[in-house]
Amino acid sequence: MRKIPVSLLRPGMVLYRPVFGPDGQLWLNAGIELKSNYISSLWRAGISFVFISDPFLSDVLVSEVVSQETRRQAVKTVKKTLQSAKLPKRNSLLLDKHFSAIVEKLVHEVLANKDVVTNLADIRDVDDYTFFHSVNVCVLSLLNAADLALSQSRLEELGAGALLHDLGKIWISEFTLKKKGSLTPEEYSEVKKHPSFGFEILTSQANFSPNSAKVVAQHHERCDGSGYPHNLERDDIHSYARLVMIVDVYDALTADRPYRLGMKPHMAIEIITDCAEAYDRSLLASFLKHIAPYPVGTALRLSNGYLGIVVKNRKEMPLRPVVRIFKTGDGFLYQEPFDLDLLDKSNLLISDVLSDAESEQELPIMTKYRKGVIK
């Protein structure tokens, strides 16, 4: 399995994971051989990347925190809920049995997979960023909270708040949210109101927990007082919000947006850890255990010059993955790639993460001939 930008897809590549439309409809199924018109359609739809089968990684298994079907159901539920809140009557938000059911299902699946290290991003349509982002933030928040010995009901409170943390953006102009250039001071001031807008909407809902609503109101606050809208500090911020704020930043940094490409996970983690004083340190430490800086499928260069692809991560040691070595530093391809466990090789470091273009050039997908050692 390899994660490949749509811009680097070529006819003949085979899908590893299916591609779904914004309303959950199946567009392309796993196992389909890509044709030129399929690739063009993915590009027009705003899909940034897909997952492609690679015969040299066919044995690599990627564990998921929640199933693709549950993710699709959650995206559809968030979309329906936010659309209902756009109706003229401001207390029309639809928090029905379907919303409660999907939160409960997300909690159940996360608890069943709480030792999984998150490796893969979703295939998202950039125009539906808010919905996919909301589900990702919910799943990652629950995954981190699973280590905190919270009750089922408290996890569901957290999940509900995380799933609707950006609810207030429905009252922000679409032009501002999708603007490609820098925001003006006035536009940024408008964006900073969305936590308060979301909180106002939810306080009109009799069946929505006040603790969940605090996630919506406070997810842009920061422990050092540098956040918004009220410059709250540490214990003045609800513990749920202190967790969601970390996940929210991470997912936002790694997602493709209309105005920029998403960062590699290790770069996003560096940015967050460089600003550690803004976050709850114990929650940040828990978060870092669950996030793979080098997800399965990432192409790396090691300090000895070897080139390879990450094939396994561990919860407690995410900085020391297992890497499948394909190439030496002087350009020789191995006839039989081999796995190198960096946990057993303390003298080896990760010196570089290859860009998508570099990965395609240095480690071409589905190389047809590996007879002997090839230069």
In a shared domain, residues 200 and 285: yes
Task: Provide the domain limits for residue 200.
Answer: 68-290
- Quote the pLDDT of residue 124: 60
Q: Are residues 7 and 91 in the same domain?
A: no
Whichever domain contains 28, its CATH number is 3.90.105.10
What's the count of helices (H) and strands (E) in the chain, helices before strands?
A: 13, 9
pLDDT of residue 317: 87
Count of structural domains within the chain: 3
| Spatial contact of 294 and 322, defined as CB atoms under 8 Å apart | no
Q: Is residue 239 part of a domain?
A: yes
**284 and 157 in a common domain:** yes
Q: How far is CA 74 from CA 22, 85, 128, 160, 251, in A?
A: 12, 17, 13, 11, 17
Give pLDDT, residue 244.
Answer: 98
Same-domain status, 35 and 131: no
pLDDT value at position 307?
96
Mark whether 15 and 102 lie in a shared domain: no
- Domain match, 279 and 163 both: yes
Statement to judge: residues 135 and 26 lie in one domain: no
| Residues of the chain predicted below pLDDT 70 | 22-24, 87-94, 120-127, 258, 364-375
Assigned domain for 304 exists: yes
- Record the tokens describing residue 197, joined without a space: 């807008």
Choose one of 290, 317, 342: the last residue of a domain.
290
Cβ burial of 248 (10 Å; 0-12, 13-18, 19+) is: buried
pLDDT computed for residue 374 by the predictor = 36
Q: Is residue 370 part of a domain?
A: no
Residue 250 lies in a domain: yes
Instruction: Let me know whether 203 and 228 are in one domain.
Output: yes
Same domain, 98 and 199: yes
pLDDT digits (tens, 9 = 90+) for 323-355: 999 999 888 889 889 999 999 999 999 999 998
Same structural domain for residues 46 and 73?
no
User: Does residue 285 share a domain with residue 307?
Assistant: no
Chain centroid to CA 228: 23
Co-location of 349 and 230 in the same domain: no
Residue 127 lies in a domain: yes
What integer pLDDT is reported at residue 140 of this predicted model? 94
Give the CATH number, domain containing residue 204: 1.10.3210.10
